[in-house]
Amino acid sequence: MKTHHCLIAALAALGLQTGAARAQPAIGGADPDIKPAAAGITTDIGFDQNLGAQVPTGLPFRDEAGRDVRLADYLGRRPAVLVLGYYRCPLLCNQVLNGLTRTLRAIPQAAGADFDVVAVSIDPKERPELAGAKKASYLEEYGRGSPDGWHFLVGDEGPIGELARAVGFRYKYNAGSGLYAHAAGFVVLTPDGRVARYFYGIDYPPKELSAAISGASRGGIGSPIRSLLLLCYDYDSATGKYTLSIVRISRVLGTATALSLGLYVFLMLRRERRGGPAARKVAAPAP
């Protein structure tokens, strides 16, 4: 039986020549907790930083009302916050939209006036009705700006894949679970549809997003970011094995935490010993 989970992979998104934030396999021998078939998955999932790339604005989609639209309908006048995911995602996609909505409530710019939010489902089976329900939910949560500034789209596999490739969003469908493995985050687009900035994870600093929207409105392209990449993956409870080769990374994180705690205890003990009898005398209550 498979269940859907999320795991923080300690992967620095440096974005050097490739500008990539991708899941890297750990160095070393084979790990018994990792399925052999999962070896190739790490190259299929990620969020590459294609800064300055032009998004194909003529791609056809359908909005939450079932109308035929194109990305160009939401660009040209102001920047756009583009979110890729899928609406029936059991965990991570909701967390991305929840975190984005919280941050948007905290910035001075308003959706519909200063920028647009464009969510695009990567699942070609999803329909406008589901997109409409998601839009209504997040409009209520946002509670400000114009409802015309939020757009939840669905589409066919071809346009979805072309858009995802343009912004570096790499995902993989798991036929066994019927779910998608993907990264968490979103991009900010300039009014003419160029990739201006990436945000990873599910928590976004309001000042950074506000600055990114302001910069994108002037056509500015940001710098590659260094951040942790959050991945959705599948777990097979029948075999107890993860389907992404990032188990060892979590072990490294756990070891680092233990070492940090041990170092802290060591320093505190050494400080106490250095104080010696004099320190104990000072601490003793007066007779």
Q: CA–CA separation, 166 vs 84, rounded Å? A: 12
- Is the CB of residue 248 less than 8 Å from the CB of residue 24? no
Of 151, 163, 158, the closest CA to residue 64 belongs to 151
Ligand-binding annotation for 89, yes or no, is yes
- Is the CB of residue 46 less than 8 Å from the CB of residue 229? yes
Can you tell me which residue has the tokens 């790990």? 31
Q: In which region does residue 136 sit, left (phi positive, over 0), alpha (psi from -120 to 50) or beta (all else)?
A: alpha
Ligand-binding annotation for 232, yes or no, is no
Ligand-binding annotation for 6, yes or no, is no
The 3-state secondary structure of 18-67 reads CCCCECCCCCCCCCCCECHHHCCHHHCCEECCCCCCECCCCCEEECCCCC
Packing angle, helices 128-142 and 92-105, rounded to 10: 40
174: Cα separation from own chain's centroid: 19
- Is the CB of residue 170 less than 8 Å from the CB of residue 48? yes
79: Cα separation from own chain's centroid: 19
Q: CA–CA separation, 160 vs 162, rounded Å? A: 6
Q: CA–CA separation, 42 vs 276, rounded Å? A: 54
Q: Which residues are annotated as a binding site for Cu cation?
A: 89, 93, 182
Q: Which residues are annotated as a binding site?
A: 89, 93, 182
